[in-house]
């Protein structure tokens, strides 16, 4: 969510993945999924730690060196120590990005600044341990623990991409609701709309959120918001299952009981069987369900987030 346009979903991204020539060798690591898919659906906020602290392009490479839990950042040829400068910049930049209201971040894998895991760390004896974490990635995730993050290579997996996009949309919805003015009634209404999709992901967390929302007046607003956002994010971090979707579809269909004629029943059973057997996507029974709910005037269910399948379409 941006201050100018609350409907805008913003994604942070390592600048080289967005096609910018910011790499140490003057090249880009343009990621097609980022440029050709994500950039058409979201507003990208490119970040390059090395360039933003004043390193030139091209430049010498930098390495993580020493203790993997607390490494130094050293120029591979000159031995220049960038540790303090990068550390201070990362703290400041992570705080600044709070104003960008990012709903997700795509990081460059194995980068000494942006890698989330498995970054090479050079040891005094010359060994290289692939267990480090980039300076900026570590600072950002500490400052924004509920923002979904992913490395670019995982975007190539359709299931992982779908899961990431669902988390991004869920984060944006939650921030849009609880980032401004809200009260107990609006919190209950938001949860009611989210409930079916939450059930598809994590029934256990959904039921915990049910209890939390039922007692919303018992909490200080900041305490309720913090607990709700944490559990909401945790639920969407758990991928929805085939069984979970079937349970939700059956529950939503129960609101049409006694309203469908034989032809409608046949159409929905056929669409559901297509999803069960894998011959049809999930969108097929969901689209038909929305059509039937609309046709039969079941208005109280039409604002369910589940019927929009965020991140899947």
- pLDDT tens digits, 280-301: 999 999 999 999 999 999 998 9
- pLDDT tens digits, 15-36: 999 999 999 999 999 999 999 9
Closest by Cα among 144, 138, 81, 98 to 115: 138
**Cβ(12)–Cβ(97) below 8 Å:** yes
pLDDT mean over 39-49: 97
Write down the pLDDT at residue 309. Answer: 74
Domain boundaries of the chain, sorted by first residue? 10-156, 159-237, 242-308
Buried b (16+ CB within 10 A) or exposed e, 61-84: ebbbbbeeeebbbbeeeeeeebbe
pTM of full prediction above 0.75: yes
């Amino acid at each position: 969510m941006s201050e100018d346009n609350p409907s805008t979903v913003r994604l942070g991204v390592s600048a080289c993945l967005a096609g910018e020539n910011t790499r140490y060798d003057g090249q880009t690591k343009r990621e097609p999924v980022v440029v050709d898919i994500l950039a058409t659906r979201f507003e990208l906020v490119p970040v390059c730690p090395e360039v933003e602290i004043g390193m030139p392009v091209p430049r010498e490479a930098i390495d993580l060196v020493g203790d993997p839990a607390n490494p130094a950042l050293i120029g591979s040829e000159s031995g220049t120590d960038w540790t303090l400068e990068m550390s201070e910049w990362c703290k400041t930049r992570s705080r600044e990005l709070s104003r960008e209201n990012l709903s997700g971040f795509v990081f460059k894998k194995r980068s000494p600044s942006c890698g989330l895991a498995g970054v090479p760390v050079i040891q005094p004896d010359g060994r290289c341990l692939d267990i480090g974490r980039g300076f900026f990635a570590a600072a950002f995730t500490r400052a924004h623990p509920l923002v979904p993050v992913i490395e670019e290579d995982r975007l190539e997996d359709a299931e992982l991409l779908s899961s990431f996009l669902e988390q991004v949309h869920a984060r944006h919805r939650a921030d849009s609701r609880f980032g401004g003015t809200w009260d107990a009634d609006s919190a209950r209404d938001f949860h009611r709309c989210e409930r079916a999709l939450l059930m598809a992901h994590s029934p256990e967390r959904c039921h915990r959120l049910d209890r939390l929302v039922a007692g919303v007046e018992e909490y200080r607003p900041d305490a309720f918001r913090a607990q709700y956002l944490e559990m909401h994010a945790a639920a969407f971090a758990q991928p929805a299952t085939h069984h979970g979707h079937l349970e939700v579809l059956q529950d939503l269909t129960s609101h049409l009981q006694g309203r469908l004629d034989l032809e409608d029943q046949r159409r929905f059973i056929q669409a559901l069987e297509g999803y069960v057997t894998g011959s049809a996507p999930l969108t097929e029974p969901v689209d038909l369900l929305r059509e039937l709910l609309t046709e039969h005037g079941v208005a109280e269910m039409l604002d369910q987030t589940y019927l929009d399948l965020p991140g899947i379409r």
